[in-house]
Amino acid sequence: MTEQVIPVGRRRRLPGAEGGIQRWLRVSLIVLMGGLAGAAGFIAALTVRQQNLFEALTRYNSMFETTLGAVEFMRLQTEVAAYALPNMPVEHADVQLRLDVLRNRLSVLRQGEVRMLIRRNPENAGLLDRLGETIERVQALLDRPASEENSREMLLLLGELNVPMIRLAASTHMEGSNLVGEDQGELRGLYVAFIAVLLAMIAAGAGLSLLLVQQNRQIRRIALEDPLTGLPNRRALLDRLAELLAPPARRGTGRPPPRVPMLLLDLDSFKDVNDTLGHVAGDGMLREIAARLRGSVPGEGPGKGMGEYMVARLGGDEFAVLPPPGLKREALSELAMRLGRVVNRPLELEGRMIMPGVSIGIADLAPGQGDAVTLMRHADLALYEAKGEGRNTCRFFEERLLQAAEERQRLQSDLAVALHEGQFEVHYQPQVHLADGRITGLEALLRWRHPRLGLIGPQSFIPVAEQSGLIVPIGNWVLRQACTDAVQWPEEIRLAVNLSPRQFADGGLLIAVARALAASGISARRLELEVTESLLLDDDAGVLATLAELRELGIGIALDDFGIAYSSFDYLRRFRFEKIKIDRSFVHGMATRPECLAIVRTMADLARRLGMATMVEGLENEELVRLALEAGYTEGQGFHFDGPLTAAEVLQRLERVPQYG
């Protein structure tokens, strides 16, 4: 794969539907709960009303009391009539019993509900009082000695109330029947209302349940879908991997399950698009890349079966492709190349053509031998290897990568204490004037005297320090220590110190340099700071401003490792370096490869025309020194002169022979 990329790195958080859905659900719940509360209150009122009706129906049964009163009145008349006739088996006590029963019945008829029922008919007004008076008059006659005349008078008194008592029984029965009918109708209405409210509550409950089901589906979709691209997100990918990587016993199959592969993709230089074109363009690029990836694999989509592809966005500029289990290495490699070609197609953003690129890490794992996190870690290590070997590349996971990662982790832990425990040393390699062999400067080179590994060079730990950010305090320490050592050198000897891009990004570089110069007392003109081309790739105005401020202090700025990866005449135009250092890879080929010699000569001529000094690295023998001189270079360094020396060895070398030849 070939690559030209302008990147994007930070993901802009887009306002999704989640907040609106939650607000809608909250309002719906409030409305439903309010309706349920109102329904509950209404049902309570219906229940109270229903109880009142039941009580009313019970009281209205007292209309039978009036009927019984009339019956008892008739029985009293019958007893009095029999009592008046001779030879009848009716005694005074029998008449008195009937009179007492009627008197008790009268007390019942005078109670509240029955009395109110009786008074509903105006014709019954005063009847109960008349009945009471009649009972008392009959009682007075009954208390006299028995005689036909007394009996006849009692019958006359009672006879006056015959019609009113019959009318009382009939009218109260009619009124009571009417009221019972009305109450029964109202009770039926209450039952209908109760059932309607109950059905409404059931419907509301069903609606709420449906709403919650829909909301749960929506929440699950939001939880498992990337809102920017619509692809499954990291959580969805982990869930799918958990199913695929389940131990064979849990999968319910007797056959050994196939290995589960995964491709991890990272857009190269994605951050540049965000920084140069803005986050809107960056988001547009992510959506386009997502669409390309989704369209480049068969059967992709959420809810597909275990044999289908899955494309997911893990966050930022990182994507994952999950092919069907059992795909062989050759097929995975072919898939990676196809994905790379798809991503590499030109893309227009904000009126500019962008050539995206992608690095891919591939790993697979057998079910039962690890979990989703293990597989993703393996793929991530392969991706780390791919990005380390150059952009737009693809690498498979190997066990050595895991071992290297574990070693990096150990080194990072050791680095955290190395600076505080004084395990670092600064060595110096002489820089020599090629014409006469004079030592013109010394380049500071960091060494780590590791308690377990011994003395190790920067290539073993500087990448780890860069990644962890520890390079900033380590680089500041190197500045201070090198300036302190340089105080003991002759004034004409320069000190060259390499700077890391992380030191520029930290924002404290100017202060660190000023403090190192002030603490040591050396002149700023003796200090030369070396930067690499990668620092200038992002076209960062802040970096150029910092370099300009360092130059104003009198410090020399050199461009290190010129020509190895990203050479551009543009930054030679934008910033005038005091010196250009040609990488050793060109120097080593000067004696055997004419094209290398031609490139070296061209670089020397370019630097001379721009007014910049030149230096070659990696001079290992006399022939290379001669070729460098003939090409027009003024300075060089390499093992032909000396390798890195300790601070004490530098002093001895300067005292003994301050030049080579």
Is the per-residue pLDDT at 281 higher than 60? yes
Is the per-residue pLDDT at 305 higher than 70? no
Distance between CA atoms of 219 and 365, rounded to whole angstroms?
31
Task: Tell me which residue of 252, 338, 334 sits closest to 295, measured CA to CA.
Answer: 338
Task: Tell me which residue of 488, 490, 454 sits closest to 648, measured CA to CA.
Answer: 488
Give domain status of residue 97, yes or no.
Answer: yes
* pLDDT value, residue 47: 65
Distance between CA atoms of 167 and 145, rounded to whole angstroms?
33
> 283: domain CATH number?
3.30.70.270
**Domain end point (choices 186, 207, 226):** 226
> Looking at per-residue confidence, does 191 or 471 come out higher?
471
Q: pLDDT > 70: what percent of the chain?
A: 80
What is the CB neighbour count within 10 angstroms for residue 185? Answer: 10
Distance between CA atoms of 522 and 513, rounded to whole angstroms?
11
Mean pLDDT of 11-36: 57
Mean pLDDT of 572-590: 82
> 492: domain CATH number?
3.20.20.450
Is the per-residue pLDDT at 408 higher than 80? yes
Distance between CA atoms of 490 and 654, rounded to whole angstroms?
8
Residues 180 and 253 in one domain: no
> What average pLDDT is seen over the chain?
81
Mean pLDDT of 225-232: 91
Q: What share of the chain is helix, strand, coil (3-state, %, to 5)?
A: 60, 15, 25
Residues 138 and 283 in one domain: no
Give domain status of residue 320, yes or no.
Answer: yes
- The beta strand positions in 327-414, using DSSP E, are 347-349, 352-354, 358-365, 394-396
Give domain status of residue 362, yes or no.
Answer: yes
Residues 334 and 463 in one domain: no
Give domain status of residue 143, yes or no.
Answer: yes
Task: Tell me which residue of 266, 378, 362, 244 sits closest to 314, measured CA to CA.
Answer: 266
* pLDDT value, residue 62: 57
The region of weakest confidence among 25-34, 206-215, 331-340, 371-380 is: 25-34
- Amino acid 256 reads P
pLDDT band at 196 (very low <50, low <70, confident <90, very high): confident
Query: Could you tell me the CA-to-CA distances from 487 to 478, 495, 521 in Å, in that order?
Result: 14, 10, 7
> Looking at per-residue confidence, does 24 or 561 come out higher?
561
Give domain status of residue 181, yes or no.
Answer: yes
How many residues are present in the chain? 661
Contact status, residue 29 vs residue 166, Cβ threshold 8 Å: no
Residues 255 and 211 in one domain: no
How close are the terminal C-alpha atoms of the chain, in Å? 48
> Looking at per-residue confidence, does 135 or 323 come out higher?
323
The number of domains in the chain is 3
**Domain end point (choices 164, 198, 226):** 226
Distance between CA atoms of 517 and 435, rounded to whole angstroms?
31
Give domain status of residue 2, yes or no.
Answer: no
Residues 392 and 412 in one domain: no
Residues 484 and 386 in one domain: no
Mean pLDDT of 331-354: 90
Residues 197 and 258 in one domain: no
Is the per-residue pLDDT at 649 higher than 50? yes
* pLDDT value, residue 17: 47
Distance between CA atoms of 314 and 290, rounded to whole angstroms?
11
Contact status, residue 298 vs residue 305, Cβ threshold 8 Å: no
* pLDDT value, residue 49: 61
Give domain status of residue 183, yes or no.
Answer: yes
Residues 415 and 343 in one domain: no
Residues 489 and 412 in one domain: yes
When mean pLDDT is compared over 35-44, 50-59, 84-93, 481-490, the highest value belongs to: 481-490
Cα angle 119, 123, 129; round to 5: 65
Distance between CA atoms of 174 and 181, rounded to whole angstroms?
11
Give one DSSP letter per residue of 579-619, joined into a string.
EEEE-HHHHHTTTT-HHHHHHHHHHHHHHHHTT-EEEEE--
Residues 143 and 205 in one domain: yes
Burial class (CB in 10 A: 0-12, 13-18, 19+), 144: exposed
Is the per-residue pLDDT at 84 higher than 80? no
Give domain status of residue 402, yes or no.
Answer: no
Residues 323 and 353 in one domain: yes
- The beta strand positions in 511-648, using DSSP E, are 527-532, 556-562, 579-582, 613-617, 635-637
Is the per-residue pLDDT at 79 higher than 50? yes
**Domain end point (choices 196, 226, 256):** 226
Supply the range of the domain harboring residue 636: 408-656
Is the per-residue pLDDT at 307 higher than 60? no
Contacts of residue 437, defined as CB under 8 A and 6 or more positions apart, other chains included, come to: 641, 659, 660, 661
- Containing 288, the helix (H) or strand (E) segment is helix 279-295
The token pair that represents 271 in the structure block: 């951050």
Residues 503 and 621 in one domain: yes
Is the per-residue pLDDT at 567 higher than 60? no
Contact status, residue 436 vs residue 657, Cβ threshold 8 Å: no
Category of 610 on φ-ψ map: left (φ > 0), alpha (ψ -120 to 50) or beta = alpha
